[in-house]
Amino acid sequence: MDKSIAIIGAGIAGLAAGTVLAAAGRQVVLFDKGRGPGGRMATRRMPTPLGEASFDHGTQFFTARDPAFAAQVERWVSEGLAARWPAAGPDAWVGTPGMNAPLRAMAAGLDVHWSTEITAIAHSHGGWHLEGTEGRFDTLVIAIPAEQAARLLGPAAPDLAASAAAVTSAPSWTVMAAFAEPLPLSDVPQVSRALGWAARNSAKPGRTSPESWVLQATAEWSYTHLESPADVVIAALLQALGTDLPIPVATAAHRWRYAFPAATGAAPIWDESRALGLCGDWLASPRVGEAWSSGTAVAGMILNG
């Protein structure tokens, strides 16, 4: 394998960078430890006695404040990949039929190696070598959470590793629950106590699954219960939603260790001397649009360098 540009991380920032670079004729290969597109924009499908239920168990919606990202969202809409979700606000959008739909479309046009975790990188003889892959890459882009980027960058770029290590991310426990009948609640009810968010996922545009809910704990609660068993988390968040709920027909929990980065408000990083770029929401703000813009911007820096 002899590709000129490697991108570690195929969330929206990495995919946005890869899309721009590939469109410019560059040879690009992406590596991601996940099994498929999504990252924090993931959609999980779960069998239930009522049929398959789907849950957007990471990002719940996104906004389009930046004109360039707004234009991208409109393209997704025209392709049937996104729609407005008024229940979450006048400028709330979701992927359709799942939150990961736009990412699946982006990844389909790129060379992405899923289920591939890069555990070490080295820069020598004017190129980058990634442990677990074959070949040499002229340019490397790292598009993963700050904590993971810091560990990976340590030996090869200690200065950039220190910048990444200075950023901390808040965790979030997410509970997914399917019910036999609609709950007597609004689609996005007011929440309190342990809950930071609750929504009827099955009411989002394009969803066809049984009554399904996504519950997300506050960062403080998630910190306190970071190592709690999943069944304890499920029981606690369901109780926080309401004490008179029917018993769900299926449940699951997912722990996001790096859900909300304390972003620096900085631009993406492009170190031309080492042909090394960094992008992601931890360099801007924890929003889908900011992550997309960060990836797009670092790709532009590479092309203009």
Q: Is the pLDDT of residue 253 over 90?
A: yes
Segment holding 292, helix H or strand E: helix 288-304
Q: Please give the Cα distance from 278 to 283 (Å, whole number).
A: 8
pLDDT tens digits, 166-176: 999 999 999 99
Q: Please give the Cα distance from 88 to 61 (Å, whole number).
A: 8
- Banded model confidence at residue 143, pLDDT cuts 50, 70, 90: very high
SS (H, E, C) 182-240: CCCCCCCCCCCCCEEEEEEHHHCCCCCCCCEEEEEECHHHHHHCCCCCHHHHHHHHHHH
Higher pLDDT, 193 or 83: 83
Non-local (6+) Cβ contacts of 143 within 8 A are: 7, 8, 9, 10, 11, 13, 14, 17, 278, 279, 280, 295
- Banded model confidence at residue 134, pLDDT cuts 50, 70, 90: confident
> Where do the DSSP E strands lie in the chain?
5-8, 28-31, 44-46, 53-55, 82-84, 93-95, 111-113, 121-124, 127-130, 139-142, 169-178, 195-200, 212-217, 250-261, 269-271, 276-278
* Nearest CA among 41, 34, 24 for reference residue 81: 41
Q: Distance between the two ends of the chain, CA-based, in angstroms?
A: 24
Q: What mean pLDDT comes out for the span 160-189?
A: 95
Residues 33, 116: contact at Cβ < 8 Å? yes
Candidate from 10-14, 128-132, 231-235 with smallest mean pLDDT: 128-132
Token output for 183: 């709950």
- Banded model confidence at residue 3, pLDDT cuts 50, 70, 90: low
**3-class secondary structure, 295:** helix
- Banded model confidence at residue 1, pLDDT cuts 50, 70, 90: very low
- Banded model confidence at residue 240, pLDDT cuts 50, 70, 90: very high
Q: What mean pLDDT comes out for the span 55-73?
A: 97
Non-local (6+) Cβ contacts of 78 within 8 A are: none
DSSP 26: -
Q: Please give the Cα distance from 203 to 16 (Å, whole number).
A: 28
Rank 36-50, 93-107, 157-171, 273-287 by mean pLDDT and report only the highest.
93-107
Rounded to a whole number, what is the largest CA-CA distance in the chain? 65
Polymer length in residues for the chain: 305
* Nearest CA among 44, 41, 3 for reference residue 25: 3
- Banded model confidence at residue 81, pLDDT cuts 50, 70, 90: very high
**Average pLDDT for the chain:** 94
Query: Omega before 97 cis (within 30°)?
Result: yes
Q: Is the pLDDT of residue 257 over 60?
A: yes
Residues 54, 30: contact at Cβ < 8 Å? no
Beta-bridge partner residues of 199:
214
Residue 173 confidence (pLDDT): 98
Token output for 105: 């479309």
Residue 285 confidence (pLDDT): 82
* Domains of the chain and CATH, by start: 1-33+116-168+262-305 (3.50.50.60), 42-100+169-261 (3.90.660.10)
Q: Is the pTM of this model over 0.75?
A: yes
